[in-house]
Amino acid sequence: MKNPFSVELLGIKMNSPIITASGTFGFGEEFADFIDLSSLGAVTVKGTTLNPRVGNSGIRIHETPAGMLNSIGLENPGAKVFLNEILPRIKKYNMNVIVNISGATVDEYGELAAMLDVDGVAAIELNVSCPNVKEGGIIFGTDPTMAAKVVEAAKKRTKKPVIIKLSPNVTDIKLMAKAVENAGADAVSLINTLLGMAIDIKTKKPVLGNITGGLSGPCVKPVAIRMVYEVRGAVKLPIIGMGGIASAEDAVEFFLAGADAIAVGTANFVNPKITEEIREGLLKYLDENNCSHISEIIGLAR
Amino acid sequence: MVLRKILTDAKIVEQKSLAKDIFLMRLHAPDIAKAAKPGNFLQVKAQRGTTLLRRPLGIAEARGDDVSLIYRKIGKGTAELAAMQEGEIVSVMGTIGNTFNLNLKKPLLVGGGMGLSPLLFYAEYMKNASVLMGARTSAELFWEELFSPFVKEIFVATEDGSKGEKGFNVAFLPKILQQGKYDGIIACGPDPMMKKAVEIAKEANIPVEVSLERRMGCGLGACLSCAIDTKSGRKKVCKDGPVFDGEEVFF
């Protein structure tokens, strides 16, 4: 029998359309005790920058109703350490590795894309929407012209598929999607976190060391579904849908809205086996709805 | 050696209040009980809980097939745990973290408040420790009874003077160190207490370990929430700790 989940996305053969979202799954290896990493469609590793970053100080995480705020600030060991130490170490898990990159300048995106054009990297995801860093980051994610420039810079320097992860912190997500499609992006990931904030009523000060942070978890799902639905109507690019997915039912909603693949983020923190449970639930859903392949449900809500 | 972590549903076999807002929860979790070593912690969540993230709680006891957690009700997550009854199910992930130094011959434990919980496991495991405990008031010193079967000496201080010496426990640490020949100090409690304990240990030229508590997301080293600064750079409490050489940590 044909695997109902085997998909080809961006020319990458995947065992499943279930991906893990950057920043929520380390480098994959942290979850090796719990799941078979090779059964995932891909693992998007922690956001990587040209130079190592220690990230933000103070409190970096805060639980909110049905979600959480984070302000890690792109802590990572830098591209060189990733290439020389981490990538060779995680090879044994036989998983598709998508590397999420952040640049402080347009040129840095190009430079990172060139450095990562190596065996073992399946695709590059441009992070133009991190709300937690001062330079670059969100500016590239809220201005269509800048986002397009970042895509062009990366595409010029790598043969790998280039995905761009869009920010929900914009008035019209369709404009952003169209701009990056015209600039040559191969796919879009949406959504990144929503900019948020919490205040400690005892100290009367912001909870997070960085004052603001990115909101994720089940509470953002309706926003994400709406954006996937809108973007599906605006561009032809493959969509990796994400934002609050914590069950197979959530994943189904994303497929119905038009996502070609889905990514699980915050839910990995709560249940390190969640991607396996989603896979089983999806299988059941397909069966109950007389579908033999996941592609049969994509975009049905339109 | 890094142990394999597991995710399991554990039945509550005992849940009792030890003092106001402080509870002991004993869970039937054979694989975790067998693997547990003093210093380790678990990431727990009420099976039908409404909070999103797990809560990191130090292991207070591991006997046979059971592990016990002693925790203070401080927020929504711990309140949900405290409201649970015997027979209900808690989702447990563990064991997580490194261990205290298990080779000490005559350790002195310095604990304040809920920091005494992981030290209790150490005391029972080693049976050679002495303990200096601190609490706000005598009603919170149920710890004395819990520690007494396993320790050589118990020193007590309360902030209000209702039991033992009056003041912070670390104020009495120099005197205790002068009187006994301890080969190591293990401290767990509020950061200012641990900071002071490290300073005193350094002056007395005795090795000191501290067990840290930070807000955590995953407990697996993936979310990078529980970052601390040390002499050898930024570390994660869940992955590199929770036990650290006291002199390495910047409090």
Kindly list the domain boundaries of chain A, sorted by start residue: 7-297
For B94, nearest residue in chain A (alpha carbons): A33
Among the three residues B96, B127, B158, which one is the final residue of a domain in this structure?
A: B96
Structure tokens at B249: 């940590």
Quote the pLDDT of residue A17.
97
Q: In terms of domains, do B34 and B129 share one?
A: no
Q: Which helix (H) or strand (E) holds B145?
A: helix B143-147
Last residue of a domain, one of B70, B96, B122: B96
Model pLDDT, residue B48: 84
Residues of B in contact with A24 (CB under 8 A): 218, 222-223
Residue A235 has pLDDT above 60, yes or no: yes
Q: How confident is the model at residue B187 (pLDDT cuts 50, 70, 90)?
A: very high
- What element of type H or E holds B125? helix B116-126
**Measured between beta carbons, which residues in chain A are less than 8 angstroms from residue B91?**
271
pLDDT (0 to 100) of residue B84: 96
Q: Classify residue B156: in a domain, yes or no.
A: yes
* Amino acid identity at A52: P
- C-alpha A169: how far from chain center: 15
Any CB–CB contact under 8 A between A143 and chain B?
Answer: no
Residue B44 sits in the same domain as residue B111: no
Give contacts of B90 with chain A, Cβ < 8 Å.
none
> Does the residue B133 lie in any domain?
yes
Which residue, among A43, A44, A60, A130, would best test binding to B if mutated, counting the most B CBs under 10 Å from its CB? Answer: A60
Which distant-in-sequence residues (6+ apart) come within 8 Å of A146 by Cβ?
A: A106, A128, A139, A140
The answer on B112 and B35 residing in a single domain is no
Angle between helices A106-115 and A144-157 (to 10 degrees): 30
For A30, the closest of B52, B220, B226 (CB atoms) is B220
Question: What is the domain range of residue B76?
Answer: 6-96
Q: Which sequence positions of A are flagged as catalytic?
A: 130
Token output for B193: 């207490």
Above 60 in pLDDT, residue A195?
yes
B52 and A66 in contact by Cβ < 8 A? yes
| CATH code of B56's domain | 2.40.30.10
Structure tokens at B76: 């929504």
In this prediction, residues B156-173 reach a mean pLDDT of: 94
What does the pLDDT read at residue A132?
Answer: 61
pLDDT of residue A90: 97
Query: Do B176 and B115 reside in the same domain of the chain?
Result: yes
B171 and B90 share a domain? Answer: no
- B227 to chain A, any CB pair closer than 8 A? The answer is yes
Question: Are residues B111 and B91 both part of a single domain?
Answer: no
- At residue B1, does pLDDT exceed 90? no
Task: Name B217's Cβ contacts closer than 8 Å, sequence gap at least 6.
Answer: A61, A68, A70, A269, B53, B223, B225, B226
A30 to chain B, closest Cα gap in Å = 6
The b-or-e profile of A72-83 (16+ CB within 10 A means b, else e) is bbbbbbebeebb
Residues of A in contact with B53 (CB under 8 A): 61, 63, 68, 269-270
Based on the fold, state whether residues B68 and B19 are members of the same structural domain. Answer: yes
Average pLDDT rounded to a whole number, residues B220-241: 96
Q: How many domains does chain B have?
A: 2
In sequence order, the β-bridge partners of residue A76 are A53
Flag if B224 and A72 touch (Cβ within 8 Å). yes
* Mean pLDDT of the region B209-215: 96
Between A221-234 and A173-182, two packed helices, what is the crossing angle to 10 degrees? Answer: 50
A156 has pLDDT over 60: yes
Q: What share of chain A is helix, strand, coil (3-state, %, to 5)?
A: 35, 20, 40
Closest partner residue to A25 (CB to CB) among B5, B7, B222 is B222
Can you identify the CATH homologous superfamily of domain A7-297?
A: Aldolase class I (3.20.20.70)
| A48 touches B at CB < 8 Å | no
Among the partner-chain residues A30, A34, A63, the one whose CB lies closest to the CB of B52 is A63
- Binned at pLDDT 50, 70 and 90, residue B3 comes out as low
* A&B contacts, CB < 8 Å: 82
Rounded Cα distance, B223 and A82, in Å: 17
Q: Grade residue B49 by pLDDT with cuts at 50, 70 and 90.
A: confident
The DSSP output letter for A86 is I
CATH number assigned to the domain comprising residue B195? 3.40.50.80
Same domain, B145 and B198: yes
Q: Is B2 part of the contact surface with chain A (CB cutoff 8 Å)?
A: no
Residues B80 and B40 in one domain: yes
Whether B58 and B89 map to the same domain: the answer is yes
Number of other CB atoms surrounding residue B180 within 10 Å: 12
Which residues in chain A are closer than 8 Å to B221, comparing Cβ atoms? 26, 30
- % chain B with pLDDT above 70: 99
pLDDT (tens digit, 9 = 90+) per residue, B55-109? 999 999 999 999 999 999 999 999 999 999 999 999 999 999 999 999 999 999 9
* Minimum Cα–Cα distance from B234: chain A residue: A54
> Is pLDDT above 90 for B216?
yes
Nearest residue of chain A to residue B218 (CA atoms): A269
Q: How confident is the model at residue A2 (pLDDT cuts 50, 70, 90)?
A: confident
Q: Which two tokens stand for residue A153?
A: 């810079």
Which of A23, A26, A60 is facing B221, going by the closest CB pair?
A26
Domain contains B243: no
**pLDDT on residue A137:** 60
Note whether B186 and B125 are same-domain residues: yes
Q: Does B233 fall in a domain?
A: no
Interface of A with B in 9-28 (CB under 8 A): 23-26
Q: Are A76 and A49 in contact (CB under 8 A)?
A: yes
Write out pLDDT tens, residues A25-56: 999 999 999 999 999 999 999 999 999 999 99
Residues B131 and B87 in one domain: no
Task: For A130-150, write each residue's pLDDT tens digit.
Answer: 666 665 566 788 999 999 999
What pTM value is reported for the model? 0.94
Does residue A302 carry a pLDDT above 70? yes
Set of chain A residues whose Cβ sits within 8 Å of the Cβ of B216:
61
Between chains, do A217 and B52 touch, taking CB under 8 Å as contact?
yes
> Which of B45, B227, B233 has its CB closest to that of A60?
B227
What count of residues does chain B have?
Answer: 251
Query: Which of B6, B53, B224 is nearest residue A270 as measured by Cβ atoms?
Result: B53
Average pLDDT over residues A67-72: 97
Q: What does the mean pLDDT of chain B come to?
A: 95
Question: What's the complex ipTM?
Answer: 0.92
Residues of A in contact with B227 (CB under 8 A): 54-55, 60, 75
Mutation target vs A (from B43, B52, B78, B232; most A CBs, 10 A cutoff): B52
